[in-house]
Structures are given as C-alpha cells and as structure tokens.
Structure 1
C-alpha cells in the first residue's frame, strides 16, 4: 500500500486551466449546499474533491467537526454525476446523520435516499430508482452490508455501478478507534470488489495517527494510492473546563443550579442509561426542560427528541454516547457528568457543541465511579480464543445455519457479544451470515492475540491520558489535540486562550447547600423495580431441560435498593461488592444499606409471611445477615433456602447467556423448606445481588411448584 502524505498534492490528471474551471464549478455547487453566495472551498477540501472527481483516486480526510467534510462528498458527487458517473454510495452509521445529509443534499439539488432498518417497505422502490438513474446519493447503514439479501443481491449491482464510495465516520473501521464497529469491517471486502478507478472517500473527525494509518492501509488494498489530508483539530468556539466536586450529590446539585446559566440548548452526557434517567428526572424536578436519551430509547422517540433539541424546545437531552456521531445542530454547551474513557471519545462528544456558533461552553464533572464503569466496558472486549474456537466448531459440526439464539446455548457468550464476535469472524472469512443464521466456511482462521493485547494496552493508555486531562494545568484544547496527534498543534504558543486553564472560561464550583440536600435526597431515595422474567430462554431442550415458552408461575414484581450503576446508593453497593486484596467482603450489611432496605420496605409493603434466602458461597454471612435482619423487622420467619446442592458449579456459571445460566442454576441449587408440607402463602425471596435474574426466576418457580402462592424477590443490588 502506498498512502500519500498530508503534504503530497494530488497528481494532476488534467491541465491547470481545466482544474481552475472545475474548481469554479465546484464552488458553485458548494454555494448551493450551504446557501451562501460567499462560500469558498478550503484548499484541503479542493484537494480531496479533485482527487476524487478528476483523478479518480482514494482519499482519507481527517478534519474537525464543522470543517465541511460532507461538502467534499456532495460537491464531488455533483461533479461526477455531471460527467456521467453512477450514484454515490455513502456508508453512514446513524439515522440522525442520514436525515441531516439527505436534507443537505436536497438543498444542492442532489437526489438522495437511504436504505436502513426503519424503511424496509421502501427498499424495492429505492433500488428501482437507483437502477433508473433517479438517485444521486444512496445512504446505507453499515449493518446492511452484511445482510445476506443485500450482500448477495444488491451489493454486487451497486459495486458495478457506483460512481463514488464514501465511508463516513471512518474511524469505526479500525479496532484502534474509540468506536470500532464490526459491520464497518465489511467495507474492506466492498473495496476489493469495486471496479478499478472508482473513487473512494473516507472521513472522520476523531482519528489519531495510529487510526489514520490503519484506515489508510485498509483503503489502499490492491495497491491503490490514498491521499491523506489531516488538518488542525482546534475548535475555536469551544471553551473547555473541568469542575472537580467531591460527591455525586454535589455534582447533581451543580448541574441543577447552573444548567440554566449555560447559553442555548445542549447535551448532558452520562456514562450509563440508569444515570440518564436519574439525572433527567432530578433536573425536571428543578424546572428544567430536559429528556433522557439512550440506545434504549425507541427510534421514533429518539428522532422526536433530536428534533426538539435542534429546535431549542428543550434545554438539554441527558444522553449516553448513543447521541453522538453525526448529530448536526447548533448547540451552546456540552456537559459531561462522568468522564469518557479516552480523550478521543471525549473530543468526539464535545464536538457536538459549537457548530455554527461563536461560543460553546464545555464542562466536565468527573465522578468517583468513572473508572468502575470503564472497567465494565473493557470487560466486553473480543472474547478469548477458547470461546471463539468453540463457536466455529459448533457451526462446523452443525453442518447447517444456526441462529445466534441457538448458538447461545452452546457458547458461553451473551447475545450482543456473540453477535459482535460473529461479525468479526465473518469479515475474517471464518464464518458467513446466511439466511437462517450463521455457517462455518471451513477456511483456516488464526486468533490474533497479539493485536487484541495491543488494543487492550492502548485502551489502558487512553484511560491514563483521560485521568491526566482532569489534572492538567496546561491548555486543555492543546492537550486533546496532542492526544489526537493533531499535525499542526504547537507548544505553549499554541494554547487556545479559551479554556479554564488559559483563563478563557471561569466556571463556578459553588453549590448551594440546599441544592446539595435536595440532590442527596434524590440519590438517597432507594428502590428499583426487579422485573420478573416471564419467558424461558430458547434452546433449553438442547440442554436436556424440558422448559420453554411462557413461565407458568413467575415471580412477582420485586425490589432492590439500587443498580450498581446508579449515582446514589450505587456507590456504596459497588464498594460492598468489590473484591479487595483479601477477597470479597462477607459480613453484616452496612448500616446505611440497612436503612435503605427499611425505606424500600416501607414504601413497598410486600406483606409476606415467610422468608427464603438464596444461599451464597461467596458471601454467606452477608446473605444470612440480610435475611435475619428482614426476619426481625418484618416479624416473619426464615422458612427455607435455595440451597447450594452442587458446589462444583461455580457462582455465576453460564451467566453470559440465558439458556446456559438456567441450566447452571438448576444444577447448582435446590429448594429446601423447613416444613415442605405447610409452605407459607407469600414468600420474600432474598438475594444479595441480581445479575441475569435467572437464579430468582428458577428459585421462584420451585417455590410456586412447592405450593407457595406468591414469590416476591428482594435484593441489595441489581447489576444494571
């Protein structure tokens, strides 16, 4: 592969005068797109456009948000279409981004359409329009690239007729990137199938030198030269600051007090779904027009929430990183309640602010729980070789396609992690997605342990850099630009002059004690619902268990003090369940959590006449103390236990997927009642911590079978 450097000009394919005329034509298209008569192309924009439209080359553009990357591919499309080229295909990761791009294209008279999971009924019509030459730009979600029907029937036609391929948010191609997506790896296959001379453009705002090199290598298959244009990542509208507060209630109070002082509308980023809901409710209680937004939000509602933010109808969306790439709006601020795990991720999120504005304030409020959350997400990395080999072997032995749900019963991986691994294996050629699921290809495959280890080490370095960002007394924008290997960042003379360390942003750390007390009341309010499982997992028959379909006698609605990811009691619960140097804590329930349990019971009032505990080999004293305390407080006896019958089955065995977890719980435990002939009518089923929920479900089913009329679970913590 030969990739041109940033300084390498594109090799001219036409004379200078001709190129000047084409540049004038390109700037006419630009003015139509942006709606301004004075619009002119940056030199780097023109270099990329000329490489694509005149030289039919491949280009990688790494430029800050708001620089005008979409103008490059829309102008190039207009030029290519005027010269008889086929339609442009844009691989775009988010529906919000697609909607914005379709609107921008329409302003320039470019006919655009999209194929994604929300418009299945329009696919045939769109395919026909593409074939008839009525579509200039087709936007495709990366997931479509490996849909069997699309891959086998539609993609070959597109590859043969495409005039320009655009890969937006191209850092997703690289597993070194902060937002690697396996579906994007399919693009490498698409590149090899394109006819020679079809130009390709990859764009991103967040790629350091390692990611840039990796993406350029992937673009440069079959000896194609790649023009790389990396520009300054400085965002002149952003004013960065960090507010260090000791407790979560202080951070929540600060947000409630100061949100109204921030200009315009913006985003409050949280690290977990639970935090978005908790924070949004507290802010609404204090009169702020906000809404929670995450990957769990219904797609239709997400679109409505995005529109309300763009229109300024809400002060903020309290969101996870699901509101990220491609969201195009003029926002006055971004606040992070909790630090992302890397400066690159952070730069991506703060880049949502300041587009089309002279100033946007960006405030980070780090929390004590941040590193715990980083560790959790790090645990979801590519699985160990044993599980990968097991998956390939199961598919090979089956001799027919297997669905992900079926594979779950044979491979100890959860559905999402298994699906992600299969997508990587598909790109590597070891498996193939077909109608009906997945099949083994029989091709030799090697586990690149060295690369996975290097990626993990890179993640650790990024986390260390994020912690350094919190503590630095140097220019914060320069720090971020350095972390992203900005090619034009300078030394101290390159300080931004706008951040808190440069004196350009002054953020008060004052928090009213009354506000802190209100936030503490919100966070100290215990009690989350433990929803009962209502359906047995599929595939139990393959494990010799005759259970399927609806659970005939499910548990009732239960309660827990808090989620481990919650801002309030979540902190105390994380400390309780953290394994220290001497092993897990096992003793009496800490007094603050005892009070929280009492508060939960006071509001819930379960009305039971017996207690059954779930025995633990990890924390036996903790569970016994919890059950004994409940017995004294409620005035009812502990009448039995879901007892450990087979200690050789380790705690948590099979927890990566539902079918295997049910099988493990049934092997490990059995119901033991003090008086089986006279079971209580209503039982409180007590456990220390709820993970998958299958232990409580299986134990509750056994209790119902023993004659108990109602089973109500109670636990200290729910994992998420």
Structure 2
C-alpha cells in the first residue's frame, strides 16, 4: 500500500472514530468498499447484516470525496427514521447533511439554495422526491451531473422480488442512468437473497452481473438472537399472554403487528394492563414518530407496538426483544425486522406468535398488488396527453382505490407510459407492454415465501440456520451445526399457558365498541415558515378521546360506512346506544359536564342530533355547535403543516364564561386528528377546563 493510500486509510479511521466513538476500527471489507468508491470510482453492492457498518462506508466516502473537490453525495433512503439517524451521525463526523422528504416540506426551498451554494456535503432524499416534478426537473439533473457519489440504501426496495418493494424506488434507475462519467454508485442492504441481488443488479447496474463492480456479501448470523415460536390459536388469548409476560422480556423492545388496527388495539390493551407502550404505524405523524423513537431509545417505554413502518434504519443497539403477533409473509422480511434487536447485547429475545388469520391478511395484501392488465390500460386510457388529471380526479374513472391507483401510476411513470407533471398526470403516448410473465413469476415467488414462513413456524431444526438459508447466506453449508440458542436447539420453550380469567377480560375488551383516540403530542416542524407560531410539544390540545369504531372494522365498519355514505339523517338509536356504551366505559379523569358538536360539512344533522341525544341521556349541558367562520373553506390539505395553518382561527368565537368542567366534543369522522386538536385549542382559549374528543368513525 502506497503512502497516499496509507494516509487515506488513516483519515478514514479518524472519521470512523468521530462516527462510532474512540477505538473504532474499520473492518477490512469496509475499507475495501471505501477504497473502491473513493480511489477507483467503481460501483459496488454491499449485502451485510444489520449493524455491520454500511452507513459508515458511505459517510466516510462522502467526506473523503468532498475533501478532494468532488460534489455532494446523494443518499436515497426509504424511511424518515433512517434519515434522522443518519443526519445526526453525519454531523458528528463534520459532514454537512440535509434531507428532503415529505416531513419537512416547508424547508425545501432553503435546502435547494444551500445545495446550489455548495454548502451541503450529503443530501438524503426520500424515493418519493425523485418523482416530484419540481425536484425531478430542476434539482435532479444538476445532482446527477455534479454528484460525488450516489448511494442507494436499503436497495432491496428497488426490487419487486424484495419484501419491501416500493414503486418510487424504481425511479432510482433513471437517476443512475443519467449520472455523469466516473460517478461511483453504492447499493446497500442487509436482507437480500440471490434473486433480489440479481434484480438489484439489473435495476441499478450494480452487482455480480456488471463489469468492474465490487460485490461484498457477508454472513448474516446474529449470535445474540434467541429465536422462539409460541403457538396460541385464539387472538385474544395471544394478546392476554403477552400482557402477562411482557414484563419478563429484557429491556425495551418492539412488538410487531400486521395491521394498523391490530397495533392500535394491542397498544391500548397493554396500556390498560399497566405497561408503558405506544402504537407506531405508517399513519403516525412525523413529529410523533420522532418523539416515540426517542422514547424507545431512552427506555422511557417498555415497547412500541408497531407495523412494518418501524423497521429499516431504526438503530437502538441494546434493543432487548422483538415479538411478532402475527407472522410476516416472508422469512426475509421477518429477519429484517428481528435484526433490529441485540446489536450490542449478549442476549435478545425474538418471539413469533403466529395466528390462523395470518394467511387471510397475507391474501389481502397480495390483493392490492399490481392489478390485471385491463385495469392498468383503463388508467392509461383515462389520461390526456396535454391536460393533467389529479389522482383524485382520476380515481372515479377507474375501478381502483386511491393507494392502489397511486402505485399503478408510479410504475407506469417509471415505465414511460405516463408522466407526473404539475397538476397531476398525463399520458405520454408511448407504447407499453404488460409484463404478465414477470408478474406471474412474482406471484409464484411470493407464494413460495409464504410457504417458507409457515415452514419456519413448523420446523424442528435450527431456526437461525433456516432463516440464513432463506437469505442465501454465503456462510451456510449443508453440514453446519445449529445455532445452539433457539428453542429447537436448546429445548427451552416459553410456557404458552395463560390465565382463563385474563383471557375473558381481554376478549371482552377487544370486542366492545370503542377505539382509543390518542391526542396529538407534537406540532410538525417548520410551522413558522407558514406564519404559524406553533412548535414543540402540544400543551393545550384535547385529552385522550374515543371513536365508536373504525371504518375498517369487521364489526362496526360496515354499519358506519353505510351511515356515512348515505343521506344526512338524525343519529339512529343503535348508534346512540353504542356511543353511550363507549362513554360509559371511558376511564376519564373527570366526567364531562357539557357537550358540543363540531360543525360538519357532510353530516350536520347526524352530528348535531347525536350531541343532543348524548346531552339528554347524560344530563349534560348542550352547548350547541362549534361553527366555522363565514367563508371559511373546507380543509383539504394532506400535509399536516398546511392542514394546521388552514385551521388557525377557523371557528367563530364561543362564550364559555357560564360553563365549568370538561366538554365532550363530538364529530362525525376523525382522520388526521388535527381538526379535533385545533378545535380543542379554540375551546381552551375560551376557558374550557378540558376537552374530551369523541367521533363516530376513523378510517383505520
């Protein structure tokens, strides 16, 4: 190794010390990757287990390249949690980092200017930004021309063979294809079998199939993980078992559920049993996610009850356990999630509690995959080549729901058949072929992965070896011994018994009407940019509330959908009785003394008569309706910051001088929670002692 190379490695070791702490030394493969990117300007694919240090490779490379006069490094990252952790790590090493994502909309203008002024060393971009018209047309070309390095983190997301395929990630191949000469590319992931690795190579031009490409692939064993399966058939009994056993699990951890509803229900149940837990899902607001992540990192909660929204990029080295109530549909996605645990501990408990309903949930998720050709062509045919249509305007013209339609549009955009522009989508007129053979292979592969997950549950062999083979771990072989840690290797198993009385209490809790409505806790960042002086924790919002039922519930869902989709009518007797039952079970600190309805644009009679009936039956003062100011438009913004800005000073003044005590605030539907939050602040400013929100329905 020449003197210059020795000096470069010494500098890389110094930067690692700033990232990871004094005494940290580069692994040989880390230096091999850094040298390939910085010195030889090559493309590389790194498949290494969680905790190996992939982020150190690209941050050190970014700093070294910047020091030699190259442009900023562009990192495409899929999750906001990952971005936040990475920005903090970059700052420790003296790297000036910025991020552009859906959570900091108000800051985009300033960040674009900093990039133009050369003040940004690393730009972290969410994949969704790559298809934003302004970003794609105004920012992306200059980045592709001037970037010092492009990093595709969690690169398995680019593959529709992967467990976490995201249509927006396919846009990355356009970015890579347009890169200037000699710009290195690094793709990284912790969980990719041979099939996914090959597809990533095809999509990004990196991997074993490409010329002059470095491939670093290591073993995936995690010696701290102790894998177990606990079989309990009934969902209520499984939840009761966890409620009784949670205190036995070490430290703090993550409890995964397959659906948003299940995560919320389980979090409420465990909280009622005295456990300090909180729900964390894809519907949790950005600011609240940050707070919940900080609470888990600081061990202020025993567990976060989460969907897959909490996964890639969340870094808590001492995470003590991961429990799954319900099995993911793939051993690969399962290992991705359990890999969060035990990075710096000698032992971490990993427990899978599968259910008979898992297959039905897998089937539902499969049903919202890429649709049949006739539906896709209907989408293309509904679009004009000049006059753009928004997703909302297009939705009634095709037989697809919003989320599925957006997924189809993104795939068609990458394939060149449609294009996203200001104002919506247009057709390009380019020919498009439906790759039926590929989709059939994909469906067969997913079916095989589901069967492999069922085999993991049933196997009597080593569970760790089973998972490593499913990921095509290069360090496995047919004769290798078991891990010596899992329940099958040791014969030590969790007792599946649970107290029958506890099961009955749990069953009653899960089946009764009423859903917890947690209050908003944090204002979104960047509100001052919109002229709104709200930041930090929310101190004047509502108390925890209740919802009669979710529109997605099997029980109340169909009845609520029928009620809300039909004509505006007085509150039916069955709905009033159910609402009374919810209120009777509400463990409020102080009983409300009055009721007020939130003015509803779609269901004014329903909401006002419900509030009046509750006032009569509960012998509460009826304060009437909280009405909007004349001319106040209906709030339609999807972004939280803009939604809040539109709700500031939205209601007419109210006189509460003659009233004392908590107010029950009644609405038809609560979705984001910001309407009830801002309405509660309005009442609080008028002198309300406390506001208890109640809504008939929430979407999920």
TM-score norm. by structure 1 comes to 0.71
Partner of 2:632: none
Partner of 2:620: none
Aligned counterparts, 1:36-185, within 5 A? 36-37=22-23, 39-185=24-170
Is 2:202 the partner of 1:217?
A: yes
Tell me if the contact between 1:89 and 1:164 (Cα under 8 Å) persists in the aligned partners: yes
Pick one of 10, 25, 28 that aligns with 2:14.
28
Distance 2:20 2:438 in 1: 43
Identify the range of structure 1 (241-250 vs 486-495) with the bigger mean alpha-carbon deviation.
Answer: 486-495
Distance 2:127 2:169 in 1: 6
Identify the range of structure 1 (298-307 vs 432-441) with the bigger mean alpha-carbon deviation.
Answer: 298-307
Partner of 2:668: none
Tell me if the contact between 2:265 and 2:515 (Cα under 8 Å) persists in the aligned partners: no
Shift of 1:22: 2.5
- Alignment deviations for residues 103-162 of structure 1 (CA, whole Å, 9 cap, x no partner): 111111111111112223322322222233221111111111010000000111111110
Tell me if the contact between 1:272 and 1:565 (Cα under 8 Å) persists in the aligned partners: no
> How has the CA–CA distance of structure 1 residues 109 and 410 changed in structure 2, closer, same or farther, with 3 Å as cutoff?
same
Partner of 1:272: 259
Shift of 1:604: 7.2
Pick one of 470, 473, 483 that aligns with 1:486.
473
Is 2:321 the partner of 1:333?
A: yes
For the aligned residues, what is the CA RMSD? Answer: 3.0
- Alignment deviations for residues 493-513 of structure 1 (CA, whole Å, 9 cap, x no partner): 342111111118542223223
Partner of 1:342: 330
Corresponding pairs, count: 545
> How has the CA–CA distance of structure 1 residues 602 and 489 changed in structure 2, closer, same or farther, with 3 Å as cutoff?
same
Pick one of 371, 394, 402 that aligns with 1:383.
371
Distance 1:597 1:242 in 2: 41
Distance 1:407 1:350 in 2: 40
Distance 1:237 1:390 in 2: 51
Tell me if the contact between 2:100 and 2:125 (Cα under 8 Å) persists in the aligned partners: yes
Tell me if the contact between 1:528 and 1:563 (Cα under 8 Å) persists in the aligned partners: no
Pick one of 508, 518, 523 that aligns with 2:505.
518
Tell me if the contact between 2:263 and 2:279 (Cα under 8 Å) persists in the aligned partners: yes
Pick one of 310, 316, 325 that aligns with 2:303.
316
Shift of 1:517: 2.6
Distance 1:247 1:118 in 2: 39
| SS of equivalent residue, structure 1 residue 66 | coil
Distance 1:451 1:197 in 2: 33
Distance 1:472 1:151 in 2: 48
Pick one of 424, 439, 442 that aligns with 1:452.
439
Distance 2:138 2:698 in 1: 45
- Alignment deviations for residues 264-296 of structure 1 (CA, whole Å, 9 cap, x no partner): 111111111111121111111111000111111
> How has the CA–CA distance of structure 1 residues 601 and 164 changed in structure 2, closer, same or farther, with 3 Å as cutoff?
closer
Shift of 1:317: 0.7
Partner of 2:420: 433
> How has the CA–CA distance of structure 1 residues 17 and 363 changed in structure 2, closer, same or farther, with 3 Å as cutoff?
same
- Alignment deviations for residues 385-412 of structure 1 (CA, whole Å, 9 cap, x no partner): 111111112214x641111111112111
Is 2:489 the partner of 1:502?
A: yes
Distance 1:492 1:256 in 2: 40
TM-score norm. by structure 2 comes to 0.73
Shift of 1:602: 8.3
Distance 1:65 1:558 in 2: 39
